[in-house]
Amino acid sequence: MLKARWHGYEIDSSEAAYEIEVPQPERLGTLVRGLLTSGYFVRSYYLLFEEPLRRLRDFVAQQGDESAAKVLGHLEQQLAKCDADEARASRIGVKAIEAILNYVGEQGQKLQAAETFRFGLLPFQVEMYQDYDMEFEPGDEIEEMDYYSEEEIPLDGVVLYLGCTLVPANKLGAKEQRRVYKLIEQSFRQVGLLQELQSWDLFGGKERDYVAEAINRSHNLTLRVRLNPDATFSVTGRWMDDGQFIFPYYDYLLRQAAKGLEIEPELYVL
């Protein structure tokens, strides 16, 4: 039975997404660790989908070499956390993430041939696809841009699925705080949102800094590492936070996080 945990997003909210192609599969884990430890992510990551690690553990246990033994220890420790509290998403550390994903990157061809990460639709997705007249077969290439909602995206090929958080603006340096404040203020003004919010202050409300309120809080997003049908890897994710208004905040932080990693994230609003 597949087990997945999802964020409780509002169904009518806006979503935005990012995609990253992985240029060096053997350094997949090092790349993801570089993103997560860039200073732009809160250093607390939650495992939202456990089954890939269970299947990987079974694959690794059959290999019997030194590198397999090392990653097997990380997998066993992580899965023990999952089993200890099945009701909650377990935390996973960057050392485990790096070791597991570097191994997966090195073994991508073998893992693809063994169909280790071949997953069908979840039960609620089967019903959703019937209602929407959508089709999907495990093994098909997944273009995440084609899916309006994250809940629609098949889990086929997913190696690691994390819940992450970007840091609030007030945790950035002074120069970056000013920069992101200006970006979001411009975004709010362009759509008339700032003027509308400020007009509410005229009716007895206390004057507020709506831009600061929007950026001085944590911002949740997901991170998925997927083994594609051609044995390449991609890193993707989404967030749901009125993406058309606060999109520049995510865009700036994700691009800064990717600096020096020889990758260029593609970001878009759905």
Q: Which of 117, 99, 129 is nearest to 228 (CA)?
A: 117
Do 42 and 118 meet the contact criterion of CB atoms below 8 Å apart? no
Q: What is the pLDDT of residues 136-169, one digit of tens each?
A: 999 999 999 999 899 999 999 999 999 999 999 9
Q: pLDDT-based confidence at 7, cuts 50/70/90?
A: very low
Q: pLDDT-based confidence at 96, cuts 50/70/90?
A: very high
Scanning the structure block, which residue is given the tokens 């970006």? 183
Q: Which residues does 187 contact at the CB level (< 8 Å), separation at least 6?
A: 245, 246, 247, 248
Q: pLDDT-based confidence at 11, cuts 50/70/90?
A: very low
Q: pLDDT-based confidence at 12, cuts 50/70/90?
A: very low
Q: Which of 40, 4, 50, 255 is nearest to 167 (CA)?
A: 40
Do strands 233-239 and 266-269 pair parallel, antiparallel, or not at all (unpaired)? unpaired
Q: Which residues does 91 contact at the CB level (< 8 Å), separation at least 6?
A: 44, 45, 46, 47, 81
Q: What is the pTM of this model?
A: 0.90
Residue 4 has pLDDT above 50, yes or no: no
